[in-house]
Amino acid sequence: MTREDVLAMKAKHPDANRHQLAALLGCSEQTVQRRLEGNNVRGGKHECATKIVLTGCMVEQWAAEAGLYLYDRRIWHKDPCWANSRWHSTSYKAVDEFEHVYVFWQPGIVEYDRARLADSEWSEWGSRAVWKIRSVRRNDRHEAEFPEELARRVIRLYSPEGGTVLDCFVGSGTTTAVAKALGRQWIGIDASPCCVKNAKLRTDAIVL
């Protein structure tokens, strides 16, 4: 899908929004946005000179404006995306094989509950910066579904039982389904009504 393809479809349907253009083109809304705005922050799959942007400093800035401060960060070490990437053989770039988890805090009193994890869990992952967790291979639920283990670790580490977990980019509902299974309250938001519907179905299906 090229920028020209998206522009041609937009010219035919000038009132269509990104979601409608995606449906017409048979691609994701994110692809439409990337082609229109040239903000392919993943590094560019097909052009070695694609501009990339470090997002961490933006996230830190937005959080600071909301009164939240960086507390910690982890690396999710996932599978290398060899299959969908051509850029590793047409550029000097590394393949995409990790993502960042940023943890922010609101100044105030923080109670540390070491009982949230067993001693073995603290040493295996709770106190470790790099989490090696396999990516989700299928993409039938969502093209970017996260592994449940990633959600499970974040929720267990940073929220108390009965606490509320919010995912404002809920996608297929991985976070909300795991939050419910772990006895948390949950809120999921997504720009796509279809994702909201499917995430709710997936989460409602968790029987406690």
Ligand X SMILES: C[S@@+](CC[C@H](N)C(=O)[O-])C[C@H]1O[C@@H](n2cnc3c(N)ncnc32)[C@H](O)[C@@H]1O
Stretch near ligand X under the rule CB under 6 A, chosen from 72-80, 107-115, 124-132, 137-145 = 137-145
Cα dist. 49→5, 41, 44, 88, 90 in Å? 20, 12, 8, 12, 10
Rule CB under 6 A: is residue 144 a binding residue for ligand X? Answer: yes
Gap between the Cα atoms of 87 and 90, Å rounded: 5
Note whether 50 binds ligand X by CB under 6 A.
no
Q: Judged by CB under 6 A, does residue 188 bind ligand X?
A: no
**58 touches ligand X by CB under 6 A:** no
The reply to whether 189 sits near ligand X by the rule CB under 6 A is: yes
Cα distance between residue 27 and residue 163, in whole Å: 37
Q: In this complex, which beta carbon is closest to ligand X, that of residue 87 or of residue 146?
A: 146
Q: How far is CA 15 from CA 12, 31, 107, 134, in A?
A: 9, 18, 45, 41
CB atoms within 10 A of CB 130: 10
For the CB of residue 23, give the shortest distance to ligand X in the complex, in Å: 13
Closest contact distance (angstroms) between CB of 5 and ligand X is 21
Residues binding ligand X (CB under 6 A): 142, 144-146, 168-169, 171-172, 174, 189-192, 195
